[in-house]
Amino acid sequence: MRVLILAAGLGKRMKSKYPKVMHKIMNKELVNLVIETAKKLNPSKIGVILGYKSELVEKILPTDVEIYYQDKQLGTGHAVMSAKEFLNDEDILILYGDTPLITETTLKNLINKHKETHADATILTAILDNPSGYGRIIKDKDGNFIDIVEDADTNNEQKNIKEINTGFVIFKGSKLLFGLDKIKPNNKQGEYYLTDVPKHLDYVETYLLEDHSEVLGINNRIQLAEAEKIMRKRVLNKLMINGVTIIDPETTYISPNVEIKQDTIIHPMTFIFGDTTIGEDCEIGPMTKINNCKIGNNVKIIRSECEEATIENNASVGPFSRLRTGTVLKENVKIGNFVETKKSIINKNTKAQHLSYLGDATIGENTNIGAGTITCNYDGKNKHKTFIGNRVFVGSNSSLVAPLKIEDDVLIGAGSTITNDIPKGSLALGRARQINKENWVYQKREKGE
């Protein structure tokens, strides 16, 4: 089986300078959500048809999909014609880049019925109380498929039909090629309808969808928000059923790819995106944002932001910490309030509790980073690294000017600016000598100065 995704539309009702399929729900583009679902079906190939501002959409697509172009918007049938070289004797599943709520389960059921019945095409349909706007499924008295009639082309009798075409369909590849050669733009829109293909085939089956929300197409920002809410609820319900406590689902946002193990607690106003994994017995939030992180067991992250970081067991982060790309926190590390890290490895039992910046640094075990400490890693042109050993005590308000190596068991006096390497067991002081001028203030006052 191959999957072909139609994603060429302009999306005028989005009122946007970007193609509709580039808009996001759950922090991921609509078309990429559809591609992720398609990949779960293990197709031999995935093709995507682009049109409006295709150069923008291309930049966000994975490299393992094939791209085709629909230069003129002449309907869904014309879109598929634009990818004729993608079609062969394999089955072809048609998906849509603006309909991201379709589930793997529904598509597998559709595919299974198609294979079991050996149909030329199998169409996913739904029963709606108000079918207005959708193409109607026309059947004979025995329930056999006859045709699909688009809403704009229905007569008064056909308008009352409740079974609608969702747009999702799987074809035998050879039959789809045959049908595409038969269709004409003989409709009010003057377009080539993909829905005209089935009436030219010998045997067409339908599969009735249970959850109508799966085929919600996104045409404006209101529907974008509705889709976000539906997908978010699905994700949160699955997590809660599997043993994750979510204090307030209404204010919690978690992407579908996120994995969280049992007995972890997610507090309100927490955002967890990307391919994040979180272990057992963690406490995340409130007011926390995590993206593409690997988090171990019994980790606490409070009111903080973490981006592409690794946080091992029993570590704690926050409040008001920022872990940037490349941060690795080993077991029992404590990162406290207003601490920022970037491309830094911080080893077991080390603490940086207050007001520090640790960039391009490797820090050993059982080390204490005092409040106000910064690694001065950037000289205006290049980034330099700082190495800090085990059992080091860095006094408050210290500036560590990279490149720099601080060996084990060093003590750095508060307020120091360190520019040279420090050998093991040393006391390092890098500050001006204090001078007290007694009675200086009183003398100034007497002179009226």
Residues 190 and 236 grouped into a single domain? no
Q: What is the pLDDT of residues 276-286, one digit of tens each?
A: 999 999 999 99
Q: Is 212 a catalytic residue?
A: no
Q: Tally the domains of the chain.
A: 2
Query: Of 149, 181, 215, which residue is a domain's last?
Result: 215
Q: What is the pLDDT of residues 386-412, one digit of tens each?
A: 999 999 999 999 999 999 999 999 999
Residue 24 is predicted with a pLDDT of: 95
Assess if residue 337 is contained within a domain.
Answer: yes
Assess if residue 35 is contained within a domain.
Answer: yes
Query: Of 215, 244, 275, which residue is a domain's last?
Result: 215
Residue 434 is predicted with a pLDDT of: 86
Residues 225 and 208 grouped into a single domain? no
Residues 106 and 71 grouped into a single domain? yes
Assess if residue 438 is contained within a domain.
Answer: no
Assess if residue 380 is contained within a domain.
Answer: yes
Assess if residue 437 is contained within a domain.
Answer: no
Assess if residue 441 is contained within a domain.
Answer: no
Residue 307 is predicted with a pLDDT of: 98
Assess if residue 103 is contained within a domain.
Answer: yes
Residues 26 and 168 grouped into a single domain? yes
Q: What is the pLDDT of residues 343-387, one digit of tens each?
A: 999 999 999 999 999 999 999 999 999 999 999 999 999 999 999
Assess if residue 439 is contained within a domain.
Answer: no
Residues 101 and 235 grouped into a single domain? no
Query: Of 165, 182, 215, which residue is a domain's last?
Result: 215
Q: What is the pTM of this model?
A: 0.88
Q: Which residues of the chain have pLDDT under 50?
A: none
Residue 41 is predicted with a pLDDT of: 97
CATH of the domain at 280: 2.160.10.10
Residues 229 and 341 grouped into a single domain? yes
**Domain limits at 95?**
2-215
Among 78, 118, 267, 354, the one annotated catalytic? 354
Residue 49 is predicted with a pLDDT of: 97
CATH of the domain at 169: 3.90.550.10
- For residue 70, what are its two tokens? 């629909």
Residues 346 and 378 grouped into a single domain? yes
Residues 200 and 245 grouped into a single domain? no
